[in-house]
Structures are given as structure tokens and as C-alpha cells.
Amino acid sequence: MEIEIGKSGTITGDIAVGATSVSLSSLPAQTSGYLVLAPDVSGAIEEVSFSHSGSNPVTISATTYTHASGTKFLIDNTNGYYQGLAKGYESQVATTGWVSFNATATYASASSFTLVGDWTDRLAVGDKIKLTNGSVKYFYLTAVAYSSPNTTVTVTGGTDYTVASAAITANYYSKGNAVGFPTAFTIGTNQKLYYVGGRAIVTGWEGKQGSVADNISTSVTFGSSFAFTNKPNVQISGIGVKSSAFTDIGSGGDTGGSGKMITEARAIATTGFTASLTLRDGGNFSTSNYYGYCWVAQEI
């Protein structure tokens, strides 16, 4: 009997935890051995025994993980080949930081896609996502929910990336540093979104022209339809006073006014807050100047 160690292919149907049969894209010549299934989203490499009588489906020992149609397999004649495969897989992760989903993603909306099966035990808020969807796109995962038979994965790429109603391929996720992932996403004018430890952080800045009053109060709305899950902690700092409009947070012409302002965040909500600026000397703001401030909002 021919032994086809290393023969590869794909499974041709989704299999659930505890599955005892699977259909393969091509049957191995030997009628028994071990089937090595490529990593699923949890990063698990699974090896099961198999046997067949010349046709699909192939009988296998019960699976520990779900595997989507299209998942790659390798044939082994003895239990243990997966250890070498795992080393190669770990090397890939160490090099790029990205782990292949090995599962089919389907468009659901401009901010979500679905996966067959329950993935809620393997995905978490703040995970980094990389999809080829017309072009290579990057996202943060903001929510994950299962409703049989699919898991809906909600993501945000701010105003930089959205999910298009088109094929989704080359799907990856990361729980750490990942090659190519943006430093932050733009979600509004002078606003950036990050996730650290599964918690959202939004930063922003603004330069307001003075008015003949002793207080500047302005409403700040987190951009791109973004909202925190819980009311965030917001810290505001003055960045200076200029005789011309601010063009960026570090633009020149600071007249040394950052220390002259008292800054405070009021009416904090999941969707925004009110920024309050007051001069320390109790006087009125000048209509000839612009008063800059920056802020950080962080999920509690």
C-alpha cells in the first residue's frame, strides 16, 4: 500500500467539536493513519486518527475544535507529525504576528462579517483583524456575538477602512504586535482610536477662537459613530495660545498660554463630553487668539 505522508488538501465541509467524520478534497492512498488539521482561530493544531473504505466521508476520532470548510490538512502515518507543523506555525506567528483564521468570512455590514460556528471563546474585543476585501484592510474587533449557526464579528477601522459587500479572503487575526497594522485609526477630525489591553482609547485636540467671555465651553463628539461601552475617563490639557488657527497639535507660535488655562471635562458620556476652558486670572478670552487643548478618553 502506498504511504502518502505529507499529502495535503482541504476539508470540504464544516466540522463541529466532537465530529467523527469529515469529507476531504482528495482521499489518501492508505486507508488509515493520522489527519493533521491546520490551526483554527484559537491557534490550535489538531491531529485525529482516520480510516476510510475508498470514499467520503472519512471516519475520524472525535475533534476537539471546530474547523471550517477549506481548512487545510496533512496526512501522517504516525501520531506526532503535528509537533513539527506547530513549530513552523509558531515561527510564522513570531515573524509577522498574524495568525490565519483558516475559516470563511462572509460580509454582513460595513462594520461586520460572519463566521460559521461559535467563535466567542476564541475572539475578544481589541483583537487586530486583517482582511483582503477588495484590498488589504485592517480593523479592531469591537464585539463578537454568536447566534446559531453563525458568529457575528463587529469591527472598526474608523474612517480609514470599512467592510465592503464583496468577497473576503486572506483572513488573519492578532492578539499582539502585527506587521503592517496601523498605529491608530482616524475616527473624526483630529481624533485617533487605539485599543490597549482590550480597552478603547481615543485621543484628540482642537484650537478654539476666543470670545468675549470668561469661559469657552465646547461639545466634543467621538467621531465615526464610535461610542464607548462604558462611560470613559477623560483628561484634558491646554496646549497653548496662538494668534492664528492651530493646524496641528505641535504647530508653532505658542505664546505660552497653556499654563494660563484651567481645563475640565464635563457631562462625560459614552459618545462624547463637554470641554471647558477658563483663564486662571479670571479674565475674558481674546477674540484675537486661538486657545488649544488636547484630550485622552479611556475606557474604564
The predicted pLDDT at position 253 comes to 46
The predicted pLDDT at position 77 comes to 63
Residues 225-259 have pLDDT tens digits of: 789 999 999 999 988 888 888 887 665 444 445 55
Q: Is 90 a residue whose pLDDT tops 90?
A: no
pLDDT above 70 covers a percentage of the chain that reads 84
The predicted pLDDT at position 40 comes to 53
Question: Highest mean pLDDT range out of 24-38, 55-69, 80-94, 130-144?
Answer: 130-144
Residues 112-135 have pLDDT tens digits of: 999 887 788 778 999 999 999 999
Q: Is 187 a residue whose pLDDT tops 60?
A: yes
The predicted pLDDT at position 185 comes to 96
Q: What is the 3-state secondary structure (H, E, C) of 66-104?
A: CECCCCEEEEECCCCHHHHHHHHHHHHHHHHCCEECCCC
The predicted pLDDT at position 93 comes to 52
When pLDDT is cut at 50, 70 and 90, the band that residue 94 belongs to is low
The predicted pLDDT at position 231 comes to 94
Please give the model's pTM, rounded to 2 decimal places: 0.68
User: If you write DSSP's letter for every residue of 157-226 in order, what string do you get?
Assistant: BTTTB---SS--EEEEEESS--TT--S-EEEETTEEEEEETTEEEEEEEEEEE--SSSEEEEEEE-STT-
The predicted pLDDT at position 160 comes to 95
The predicted pLDDT at position 4 comes to 45
> Taking a C-beta distance cutoff of 8 angstroms, is the pair 117, 151 a contact?
yes
Q: Is 63 a residue whose pLDDT tops 70?
A: yes
The predicted pLDDT at position 83 comes to 46
Q: Is 87 a residue whose pLDDT tops 60?
A: no
| Mean pLDDT value of segment 266-270 | 96
| Mean pLDDT value of segment 165-190 | 92
Between 100-104, 191-195, 251-255, the lowest mean confidence (pLDDT) is in: 251-255
Rounded CA Rg of the chain: 27
- Distance (Å, rounded) from C-alpha 126 to C-alpha 53? 46
Q: Which amino acid is at 264?
A: E
Q: Is 79 a residue whose pLDDT tops 80?
A: no
Between 25-39, 107-121, 251-265, the lowest mean confidence (pLDDT) is in: 251-265
The predicted pLDDT at position 86 comes to 47
pLDDT above 90 covers a percentage of the chain that reads 43
- List C-alpha distances in Å: 29 to 1, 7, 26, 77, 186: 7, 10, 9, 11, 54
The predicted pLDDT at position 214 comes to 87
Q: Which H/E stretch holds residue 261? A: strand 261-269
